[in-house]
Structures are given as C-alpha cells and as structure tokens.
Structure 1
Amino acid sequence: MAAHRNHRKPRQRPFTGQAGRTAATLALAGAATVTAAGPAHTEPRLTPAQIKAKVDALYTQAEAATEQYNGTKVKADEARASLTVLRDEAIRRTDRLNASRDELGSIATAQYRSGGLDPAVQLALSSRPEEYLERAGLAERAGSRQAAAVAGIRRELSVVAGLRSRADTQLTDLTASRAELARHKSTIQRKIASAQRLLDRLSAEQRGRYDAQDGGYAARADRGTPRGAVRAPNARAEAAVAFAYGAIGKPYVWGATGPGSFDCSGLTQAAWRAAGVALSRTTYTQINAGRRVTRSELTPGDLVFFYSGISHVGIYVGGGQMIHAPRPGTAVRLAPVDEMPFAGAARPV
C-alpha cells in the first residue's frame, strides 16, 4: 500500500526587513490606485436658498475686487500721465542741452584755430594796436559768455538726470499697478464665473424663482414713492438724480463709467459729473466727498454706502429708495435702501 502523503499548503512567512518594506509600499500603491479608480467625488447638493446665499456672497466679493481694480486703475492712469509729461520734458531739455553743447563746441573750435600766440606778442606784432585791444576786449567778453554757457549746460545736465530718474520711478509704479490690475481682474472674473456655475446648477424653474426674487426689490421699489415726490435740496442734486433715473435699465459692467453701462461707483460718479461735481472713482473714496450725513438726514442726491468694506454705493432719490448698479447680470435700477446692510452716507457739495 502506498504510503499516505499529506499534501499541505506551505506555510507563508511574513516579509521582514527590506522585503517587508517593499511589500508594504506596493500594497499602499495598490490601495491608492483602487481609490483613484473609484467613483469621482461629487459636490454636495445645495438647496436653491443655499445657492442664492453663495451667489450673493460671490458677487459681493467680486464688487469689492472691482472697487480695488477701479482704485488701482486711477493710480495707473496717473502714473502713465506723469510718465508721459516727464518724458516729454526730458526730450525738450535734452534738445536744448544738445543745442548748447553745439554752440559751445563752435566757440571752442574758433578759439583753437585763432589761438596759439601769447596776447602780449600779438599786441607787439599788430600793425594797429588799437584794433587789437578792441578785439581783445570782445574776446574777453566772449570768454565770459562761454563760462556762462558751460555753467548752463551743467545745470541742464542735472535737470535732465533728475527728470529721467523721476520717469524711472513712475515707470516702476506703472508696472506695479499693471500687475495689480491683472490680479484684481483675475479675482473678479473668477468670482463671477463661480457664481455662474452655481446658478447653472438650478433647474429652469428654480432659476426663474431666483430671478423673480432677485428682481423683487426693484418691483417693491417701483410701488413706492413716485418720482419727484421728494424734492432735491438744490439744482445740482436734482441734476444728479435726473441722470440716475435716465440710467435705469443700462447694464452693470464692472469698471464701466458710462454712458452705456456702469458699475456702482461709476454710476454715482457719472451722475454727479452731470451736475458739475467731480467725484473720485471708488466707493471707499467717494464716502469722503462733501460731508457725512446720517440715515435720518438723507435727501435726494446723497450717496448711500453699503457693507462694512464700503464696497457698494447708490444715489438716494427719496422715500427710502435709491438708484444703483447692483451686480453683474443686472441693470441699473430703483431699489430700497434697506436692500443691503447700510454703512453710511455722504452729501457731495
């Protein structure tokens, strides 16, 4: 009888040392591969109310970035204008300097050609000493003029060097402002794109409700105090209010100052410009225009500001209402002042 053989599986020994470390590494890599190949992470489902809250927050951030962009653009424009003036002045001064140098060179060349003899010898050899003495006096005066010309050239060189140094500084400022503009522009576009992606997640019915809710403030304002029921305190304020009413329906475009589109501070600046008053470009500088007024003191034409960062502005028209350019995707419209968190008001003068 054949001997019974016990066929057992060989006992597996755990890896140790370098082999163990290698096996562990391979196991982790395999696990990572399985995880990566698994189902993609999906964004959490948001209710329409949550989407609206996020969209509103993104638009508020975009508007704050827009006001920073506007302020930086003012600095860039000023630096560019100053650089142009400095460069033009440097060119004029350089032309004048070159003309002085040419004149001085002509004088020096003439002296070299006629020089060489000691003045006393020239006097002794002259057949007409009186004429020589007269010419010598003229030459002395010419020498004085030459010395003055040299001093003038030195002064001009110093001025030109100073102009070029200031132009270099302005160019540095302009380059920095352009880089800052690009950063703000990127932030604005990123925030607006994120808001649009959120809105795209709404169904057609939900988007319709969102748009109706978003426009509800304007509808409520339209049922409020009729236009002209509250008189402006003076002709300039009246002109600013009239301009704002005329802008209703024109689209919001960030960075725009009219006449076809506006952002919030661009609208208020244009309205008061039509009244003959120059306002600065941004919300956080416009709030210092004229004098501050309280909410209870508001009269038509006053500038009303919102949010803690003073990132939004409208123009008060009476009856608790304002005209403002709200945000991307909307148009200039009438709205209640209590639509947003009130931050202050100013009365241009």
Structure 2
Amino acid sequence: MNRSRSGRKCRSRGSSITTAIALVCALSVLVLPGQASADPAPPPAAGGEGDKSLDEVRRDIDALYRKAGAATDAYNLAEDQAQGQSGEIVKLARSIVAGEERINELKDRLGAQARAQYRTGGVPQSARLMLSGDPDLFLRGAGRMQQGQAAVKGMLDELTRTQEDLRTYSQDASSEWQKLEANRKRKEKAQKEVKKQIAAAEKLEARLEEKERSRLLELEREEQYRAQTAWLNSGALKNGGKGGAASTAQGKQAVSFATAQIGDPYVWGAEGPAAFDCSGLTQQAWRAAGRAVPRTSQEQWRLLPKVAVADMRPGDLIIYFPDASHVAMYVGDGAMVHAPRPGRTVTIAGAGSMPILGVVRPG
C-alpha cells in the first residue's frame, strides 16, 4: 500500500482502533467478565418457526463462506508457490545460459590449442624440443610445455564440470516446470471452488426479502455475542480480560496498519491496497511492520511460533476453525481486526466470536 493512501486513511480515521473497540463494547460484543454483578442480559431471543428457519439459512450461508475461505487458502498457497517456482525457473534459465556461454568459450580455447598443434605439423612439442639440440631451449620450453598441458587439462576438467552442471540445471528446470503446471491446475481448481461456494451463498441470500436479510444480520450478531461472552467468562484471557504482555514496537505497527484498513472490502485472493482477504490483511500488516509472514492462514498456523491464548498480545494472529481457514489480528481488550468474508468489510470484532484453533506470534 502506498504511503500517501495509508496516511490519508490513518488521518481520516484517526484513533480508529479506539473508536471501533468502543463501538463494539457499546454493542455488548466485548463484555468483560466481572464488570457487573450479574451476567449481561442476552439480546432478544429469536422466536417462532420462521426465525428458526432463517437461523438455519444463516448457518448454511456461514458454512458455504467457510468452504470458500478454505478454497481461498488453497488458491493463495498455490499462487504463492507458483510465484516461487517461476522465480526459480528464471534463475535456472540464467544459469543455463551462463553455462552454455562458458562451454562455448572453453571449446574455442581448446580449438585454438588444437589449431596451433596442427600448424606445427602435428609433431608434439616435447619431440621438437628434444630434436632442437639446445639444452637451454629444452629446459625453458619444458617448463612452458608443462604449464600449457596443465592449462589444457584444467580447461577440459572445467568443460566436463560445466557440462554436468548444465545437465543438472536442465533437469531442475524441467522439475520446476512440472511443479508449476501442477500448481496452476490446483489454482484453477481452487478458484472454481471459491466461486462455486460464494455463488451458492449469494444465491441463498438473494432469495431473502430485505426484512429477512436484516434479521439475518441480527442473528449473526447474536451468535457472535453469545460466543464472545462465553469465551470471556471462561477466563480465557489474563489481566481481567486484557490478555498477556504489552505489544512490541513491531506489533503496534502491524496493528496500526490493520486497523487503518477498517472499511475496506473483503475480496478473496486480495492483499491490498484497497481490498483484502483474511490472510492478505495479516500478511500485509506484518510486512508493513518489517516482518515477512506466510501468505495463507494455514501456513501462518503451521510455520509461525505458537503462544497460549491467555498470553496473546496485540499484533498476535488468531487462527480460527479446525482447518485453520480464517485468521485475524488481536488488537487488545478482547478484540480483533479481520476481513470476515465476501460481502463484508474489514472490521473490529470480539476475538472469541468464532472458534479459536490457536494463536501465533510473528514477532
């Protein structure tokens, strides 16, 4: 993301993280345990068969978007690997060209040696020296002859090594091309799956009337409220619900970048500057803080150091669902920032509003 756009967003939103957390708190999404003498009153319960049916629709839509999220991760991983393989192929191609140029140069030099011997009638230099009858000439010439023979042997050895390297480079390039093609097919398959799941979810939503869609959003918030409240009341976080130690300088930078994107749309496969998917947001936030992290939520979970949920601090990444198909960034006070799904924008939400798989710490 360019600095000018980032600066405008940061200035226009100012203390966006503070405001967003306050708003979420006001909506009772981030209710901390022990703040009142009794449990907070739950939102109005859905009633009637119509509401129950709508809730089932909500669950179906959520399931479809979760499948789309998993497929997006597969697409992003294949794309990331393909980019690495393309770079490797370019390096191998350069090595092959350099190897071919060196082989041609060595062949030219060896050819020059052969032509020089031909011009002397094919008589070996050692024989010519012996027939000269001049001992001093013989001694001087013998030394030069040994040097010349050593040089020719060195060129022949280098030629053999270069030819072997060239064969290895060619084999490696062929292998990388095969991997690249396999990843291209995986990308295409994942892309089709993403579009299929999103289209199915959008089709379900399109069948609803405006009033039903509004109620659907209410049901979604109610479910997040229940999950967040239960999570906080479980004592999942230390320090009265604030979490572990204070953030590092890098963590603060990452949080600042992520919260500056609040309001940007979710677009699958996007990594900025104006739209993001979940792992695209966390990756770019930590890149802005000077730390490279893997592209997908599953790779972030697999490769980054894990920390206890109770010890997480701002900047840590929260991985959700058993298949690690969603990721968010912890911002403190029981809240996280994330790019939720298609049709939604980057937003602040309760860190426990979805099932947590674990927490990783980029730096």
TM-score exceeds 0.5: yes
Instruction: Please classify the TM superposition score into its range, dividing by the shorter chain length.
Output: 0.7 to 0.9
The amino acid of 1:290's aligned partner reads P
Letter in 1 for 2:304: A
Secondary structure of the 1:250 match is coil
Match of 1:62 among 68, 74, 86: 68
Provide the aligned length of Structure 1 versus Structure 2: 295
Counterpart position of 1:334: 348
Q: Structure 1, residues 253-304: CA drift from partner, whole Å, max 9, x if none?
A: 111111211111111111122222221111122234233122x333322211
Instruction: Give CA deviations for 1:202-250 in whole Å, capped at 9, x if unaligned.
Output: 1233233334555778999xxxxxxxx9794322222221112101001
Change beyond 3 A, Cα 1:300–1:115: same
1:293 aligns with 2:299: no
- The equivalent residue for 1:26 is none
SS at match of 1:153: helix
Counterparts of 1:69 and 1:118, CA distance in 2: 67
Corresponding position: 1:157 with 2:172:
no
Using the aligned pairs only, state the percent identity.
Answer: 35
Contact 1:290 / 1:348 at 8 angstroms: preserved in 2?
yes
Instruction: Report the AA paired with residue 327 of structure 1.
Output: R
How many angstroms apart in 2 are the aligned matches of 1:199 and 1:123? 97
Partners of 1:66 and 1:121 in 2: CA distance: 76
Q: Deviations over 1:35-75 (max 9, x none)?
A: xxxxxxxxxxx943332221111000000111122222222
Once superposed, what is the RMSD of the aligned Cα atoms?
A: 2.9
Show the counterpart of 1:74.
80
Shift of residue 122, structure 1, vs aligned partner: 5.4
Are the equivalent residues in 1 in contact too, given 2:306–2:358 (CA < 8 A)? no
2:329 to 299, 315, 321: 315
Pair 1:189-2:203 in alignment: no
Which structure 2 residues correspond to residues 1-349 of structure 1 after superposition, within 5 A? 47-117=53-123, 138-139=144-145, 141-211=147-217, 213-214=219-220, 232-287=246-301, 288-294=303-309, 296-349=310-363
Tell me the amino acid that sits aligned with residue 98 of structure 1. N
CA distance in 2 between counterparts of 1:125 and 1:238 reads 86
Cα distance in 1, alignment partners of residues 282 and 179 from structure 2: 28
CA contact (8 A) 2:224 2:353 kept: no
Which residue is 2:33 aligned to?
none
Structure 1 counterpart of 2:285, which letter? A
SS in 1 for 2:336: strand
Higher mean C-alpha displacement, 230-239 vs 130-139: 130-139
Q: Which moved more, 1:192-201 or 1:210-219?
A: 210-219
User: Partner of 1:316: helix, strand, or coil?
Assistant: strand
The 2-side partners of 1:236 and 1:126 are apart by 80
Greater relative contact order: 1 or 2 (C-alpha under 8 angstroms, separation 6 or more)?
A: 2
Structure-2 residue corresponding to 1:41: none
Structure having the higher Rg: 1
Task: Give the TM-score of the pair, scaled to structure 1.
Answer: 0.75
Contact map agreement 1:252 1:262 (CA 8 A) in 2: yes
Q: In the alignment, is the contact (CA less than 8 A) between 2:319 and 2:359 conserved in 1?
A: yes
Supply the distance in 1 between the matched residues of 2:118 and 2:142 (Cα, whole angstroms): 15
